[in-house]
Amino acid sequence: MMRVLDARGRNEGLGVLPASYLYKVAYTTLVDEIRRLRRRPEVPLEAEGHGDGTSAPVAAGNPEQDLAASEVGEAITQCLSGLGDDRRRAVTLHLQGHTVPQAAALLGWDAKRTENLVYRGLADLRQCLEAKGVKP
Amino acid sequence: MSTQDEPHEAEERLRAAFQARRTAATTPEGCPAAADLWSAVRGELPVEKRRALVDHTSLCGACAEAWRLAMDVSRELPPVSRPWRVSLAPLAAAAALVLALGGAWLFWAHRPVEAPGFRGGEAPVIRSLIREDAALPRSDFRLRWSPGPDGSRYDVRVTTESLQVLAGGQRLAEPSFLVPESALAPLPKDSRILWRVEAVLPDGERTASATFVTRLE
């Protein structure tokens, strides 16, 4: 919001801003804030106790599940990095939730080529995960 | 589960696991600017630059999340962008919309990893059947929503405004969920409770609701 107001101040001579610009400013502000929160400094283990043998409450969740999810995620990232560039890009956009036409437009390919790359890339990805003993 | 459903479900699990990655970039150049991610998703950057950013998101879970947020937010933009006179009202509306989407995105991004992703498409829209201004008593904090087709099942997740998980249900046959009174006990009067439903339709498709807010009496 502050960034938008700043932009408004700089843009007073024009008086108008496109809606897409306002959305972009709001989006970038939100993402920057999320990144800032995630950069919180790590706390040494000894600092977490209360000094009386008790420890601070831990975050909610299932540690085993979190660990398993982390391992699966790491395996997916490793396997993606081993794919050819074009297959990796097509599969990445597919897993992000883009349709084939959307992925094709973003990557500058035609839909048929993109569909083939998604198909073959997913097969490669599954094969790699199986070789690692990972089944999401 | 039919044999035909298996490849689809396996792909949904793979997508969910991909989207649940938490790894941040370890590349020397770090993560791209949020503005670049936005412009890439909007197709406003040159194709080579877009491909480079897709490469980054394939290895960086944090930026992949930011990419999906840009996808969600930019869907809300009108097809033809009309200039707005800059006053506080549209600014507040834009900021509120993005923050609402961001909150919903954060809420959904931190779901358990086994919960598969959802697809939009032609699926029915899930609506809250609780009036927006209504407050529910702790002893009967029953959430209700519009049902999907016969045979639909529902996953529901209930959190505080700070996204602390209070309760949840999985594969519910009925379109309602009673939040246990014990889960609400620590919360003060007038607390705002966030809840969201994901429906598994009879054909295996999934559709998710918006994040609803209901006050605690």
pLDDT one-digit tens code per residue, A112-124: 999 999 999 999 9
Residues B168/B215, Cβ–Cβ less than 8 Å: no
Burial label for B172, CB within 10 Å (0-12, 13-18, 19+), is middle
Read off the DSSP letter of residue B185: T
| Biggest CA pair distance of chain B | 58
Token pair 């498709």 is found at: B205
**Shortest Cα distance from B138 to chain A (angstroms)?**
22
**CB-based contacts of B191, cutoff 8 Å, min separation 6:** B160, B161, B184, B215, B216
Mutate to test the interface with A, among B11, B44, B91 (most CBs of A within 10 A): B91
How many whole angstroms separate alpha carbon A30 and alpha carbon B152?
35
**Shortest Cα distance from A35 to chain B (angstroms)?**
8
What pLDDT shows up at residue B126?
A: 87
Q: What angle do CA A27, A33, A34 make, to 5 degrees?
A: 90
Looking at residue B159, its amino acid is T
To the nearest 10°, report the CA torsion of B98, B102, B104, B110.
170
Report, in this order, helix, strand and coil percent for chain A, each rounded to 5: 70, 5, 30
What pLDDT shows up at residue B95?
A: 63
**CB-based contacts of A17, cutoff 8 Å, min separation 6:** A4, A7, A8, A11, B83, B84, B86
Mean pLDDT of chain A: 77
**Shortest Cα distance from B1 to chain A (angstroms)?**
17
What pLDDT shows up at residue B115?
A: 37
**Shortest Cα distance from B30 to chain A (angstroms)?**
12
Is the pLDDT higher at B119 or at A2?
A2
pLDDT above 70 (res A108):
yes
Residues B110/B21, Cβ–Cβ less than 8 Å: no
Nearest CA in chain B to A122: B11
Report the candidate in B83, B33, B103 with the shortest Cα–Cα distance to residue B63: B33
Q: Give contacts of A22 with chain B, Cβ < 8 Å.
A: 84, 90-91, 94
How many whole angstroms separate alpha carbon B20 and alpha carbon B38?
20
Query: Six-digit token pair at B9?
Result: 């479900």
CB contact under 8 A, B165 and A19: no
How many whole angstroms separate alpha carbon B23 and alpha carbon A74?
8
Give the containing element (helix H, strand E) for B5.
Answer: helix B5-19
Q: Give contacts of A28 with chain B, Cβ < 8 Å.
A: 33-35, 38
What pLDDT shows up at residue A86?
A: 96
Q: Give contacts of B64 with chain A, Cβ < 8 Å.
A: 92, 96
CB contact under 8 A, A23 and B66: no
Q: Give contacts of B121 with chain A, Cβ < 8 Å.
A: none
How many whole angstroms separate alpha carbon B188 and alpha carbon A52?
30
Token pair 């599940």 is found at: A65
What pLDDT shows up at residue A55?
A: 41
Token pair 């705002």 is found at: B192
CB contact under 8 A, B50 and A34: no
What pLDDT shows up at residue B96?
A: 67
CB contact under 8 A, A88 and B55: yes
Q: Give contacts of A24 with chain B, Cβ < 8 Å.
A: 35, 38-39
Collect the ranges in chain B with pLDDT lower than 70: 1-7, 22-29, 78-123, 162-163
**Shortest Cα distance from B68 to chain A (angstroms)?**
7
- Model pLDDT for residues A18-33, shown as the tens digit of each residue: 677 788 888 888 888 8
ipTM above 0.85, yes or no: no
Query: Six-digit token pair at A64?
Result: 């085993």
Q: What angle do CA A95, A97, A102 make, to 5 degrees?
A: 110
pLDDT above 80 (res A133):
yes
Burial label for B126, CB within 10 Å (0-12, 13-18, 19+), is buried
What pLDDT shows up at residue A61?
A: 54
What are the CA-CA distances from residue A124 to residues A88, B6, B7 (Å)?
Answer: 10, 18, 15
Report the candidate in B119, B130, B132 with the shortest Cα–Cα distance to residue B199: B119
